[in-house]
Copies of this chain bind each other. A is one copy, B any other.
């Protein structure tokens, strides 16, 4: 029942994360200063330091909080049989995770040079490599390796690039998902014969 205008009690940490993520993903990490964040929240810079040890720490917390679904997805996938269906499901779930943490992924996509130097850079890279490992065959040919990588990148880069195009957002999202699925399917031929992308609809069994 608290009035809307007054600063809410215990949610400052969350509000910092929200504002920080918005600014980081909009202007970039380096170009977003703690002063800006503080001003937008109408607190002092020092207040940020009560909740986070450093600027980098804010990013780490965002990565951990918003990236959790992906980690869970990885854990799940590692318990599954490595069939094509599993892989398609990985794509589908990853696509869903991206949607719910869009700003974070946009930030990581557009600030790669920066992120690389941050502590999470390594963790992010490892995560991507793990996902990649889940998608490709162990003895996959080079072209199929590229297909798997591309499947992942499509979802990252594609989504943001698509945003500026016309069309219903849901439709665009689905198109991206379909191409990613297609790629992963093509990269995982049944036995020795490559699967037909056509047969790789988004439809789940």
Q: Which residues of A are at the interface with B, using a C-beta cutoff of 8 A?
A: 25, 27-31, 107, 109-114, 116-117, 141-143, 145-147, 149-150, 153-154, 156-158, 161-162, 165, 167, 171-172, 174-176, 178-179, 182-183, 186, 194, 196-198
Contact = CB atoms under 8 A, between A and B. Distances in A.
A47 to B, nearest CB: 15
Nearest to A29: B113
Query: How many copies of this kind of chain does the complex include?
Result: 4
A183 B157 CA distance: 16
B146 A153 contact: no
B176 A186 contact: no
Given A28-B30, A30-B28, A30-B30, A157 B153 contact: yes
A171 B29 CA distance: 35
B145 A165 contact: yes
Best-surrounded residue of A27, A31, A161 (most CB of chain B within 10 A):
A161
Contact of A109 (B29, B112, B147, B198): B112
A176 to B, nearest CB: 5
Nearest to A32: B113
B146 A175 contact: yes
A135 to B, nearest CB: 13
Given A153-B154, A154-B153, A146 B162 contact: yes
Contact of A175 (B142, B153, B167, B171): B142
Nearest to A194: B198
A184 to B, nearest CB: 12
Contacts of A117: 27-28, 31
A120 to B, nearest CB: 15
A10 B96 CA distance: 54
Contacts of A141: 175
Enumerate the 6 nearest inter-chain pairs by beta-carbon distance, A residue then B residue, closest first. A28-B113, A30-B30, A110-B112, A142-B175, A110-B113, A153-B157
